[in-house]
Structure 1
Amino acid sequence: MKKITMKGKNVDEAVDAALKVISGDRAQAKVFVLSEGKAGVLGLIGGTEAEVEVTVKEGKPEDAQQLLQDILDKMGLVTMVESRLVDDRVELVVKGDDMGRIIGKDGATLKSLEILLAGMLARLYGERSYVSIDADGYRDKRRQSLERLAQEVANEVIDSKAEKTMPPMSAADRRIIHLYLQGNPSVAIFSQGEGDARRLVIAPK
């Protein structure tokens, strides 16, 4: 995403000048008029120039990368963000120091950043956007941790022949456990509860 503020005799002239500087296409540009300007006496004296802010979309991965980098810079973090498009989802990977601040407790900060970026991209592109953010390999570590937990609970259920209810967790975490256990011939898995209180139940077959 490229953004520039430019002045001109009128709005159209200011927009054209801005697009020339950033090599942008008007069809891909979003224009915010800061000032429409005012003609002076006889068109010469006392007038003010028009001023516009022009944003040109570069593609969801590139724009998401820049938006996230700007957020992390404002947080005072020294990071590098990489991006790619997988199907219809933008995947972002953050590298740098102090990754704990980006991840948060149980990935809460990552989740908040994903929601924030998805909203920003939706406004920019006028369509729903899906965003996934990883930092310091957190996603893979989290998946492995949940799979170990799922296996431990499944073993307990098989040994005791009694169902066990797992603690509340996010939809993404529930999906990881569900996918891991769905091929286990000795246990059944289902959900109960609503919203934040929704839990997985592991039962013997």
Structure 2
Amino acid sequence: MKKIIASGKTIEDAVRQGLTELQVSAERVNVTVLEKPSRGLFGLIGGRAAKVELVLIPEAAQQPAVSVSAVSAASAPKADAPAPAVKDAKDGKDAILETERFIIEVARTMGLDITIARHDSRDGLVLALSGGGDLGMLIGRRGQTLDALQYLVNIVANRYSNSHLRIVLDAEDFRDRRRKTLEDLSDRLAGHVIRTRKEVVLEPMAPHERKIIHSQLQNHAKVKTFSKGDEPNRRVVITLK
């Protein structure tokens, strides 16, 4: 009984490669998935290709099987398109699982052992990180590392999902603490602008942090805010109305 092992970026690619090598149609083989594909760190390092085994069905055995297996064949996935594996890879739940695996892998490369808790928020699905070790390594100065990782996490999640997913990454309640810090800063700077009658230009901030400043002062009686500059150096300006 002839059989070969083929690989490819996806299971479908691997099956097509095997069919080409055997020079037969999908109905002439039995397919076993040996390894599902996986992405490496940051989608670049340590990725694994899909691997399948194709066993050629002898022609003599194929003829009587047509009528006997007609019902099961109609409900079974085709050998050249293993639907369950592909569907799973694009399922929202599996997209979150793949995203969490990615985060854990990144943390391990940094020597951190973390756990992840999920909860919904108005900004999206929050993945909250906790665990032993210095999670400050994942947060970085003023959350810059956490923001960069969140950007990568959203790329990973949406690679595995048919519908758009919005992931918010948090660690040790940093997001809430940072929001409170920015809100307090906004109020202090608004007072400074009123006293000195001079506008204040803040340091460059990420869009979601600028939004916190704007929201905090949008109903202020004496000052207003606007943003100026281009990313990544766009800044909030606080000035008198």
Please say whether Structure 1 and Structure 2 have the same fold, judged by a TM-score greater than 0.5. yes
CA RMSD of aligned residues (A): 3.2
Q: Identify, as 1 or 2, the structure richer in strand.
A: 1
Kept in 2, the 8 Å contact 1:118–1:128? The answer is: no
Query: 1:162 is paired with a residue of what secondary structure?
Result: coil
Aligned equivalent of 1:75? 110
Kept in 2, the 8 Å contact 1:61–1:83? The answer is: no
The one-letter amino acid of 1:68's match is I
Which whole-Å deviations, capped at 9, do the CAs of 1:119-159 have from their partners, x for residues lacking one?
11111113432111111111111111111211121111101
Kept in 2, the 8 Å contact 1:166–1:199? The answer is: yes
Alpha-carbon distance in 1 for matches of 2:185, 2:142: 15
Which whole-Å deviations, capped at 9, do the CAs of 1:107-127 have from their partners, x for residues lacking one?
122112211111111111134
TM-score, normalised relative to structure 2: 0.62
Determine which of 128, 132, 142 is the counterpart of 2:168. Answer: 132
Q: Does 1:146 align with 2:164?
A: no
Which whole-Å deviations, capped at 9, do the CAs of 1:42-75 have from their partners, x for residues lacking one?
99xxxxxxxx9x5734614444333322332343
Give the aligned length: 175
TM-score, normalised relative to structure 1: 0.71
Kept in 2, the 8 Å contact 1:11–1:36? The answer is: no
Which whole-Å deviations, capped at 9, do the CAs of 1:78-99 have from their partners, x for residues lacking one?
1111113446822100011311
Q: Does 1:167 align with 2:185?
A: no
Query: 1:191 is paired with a residue of what secondary structure?
Result: strand
Aligned equivalent of 2:51? 34
Aligned equivalent of 2:221? 185
Percentage of matched positions with identical amino acids: 28
The one-letter amino acid of 2:173's match is G
Specify the structure having the higher radius of gyration (Cα). Answer: 2
Alpha-carbon distance in 2 for matches of 1:11, 1:107: 53
Q: Does 1:84 align with 2:101?
A: no
Query: 1:14 is paired with a residue of what secondary structure?
Result: strand
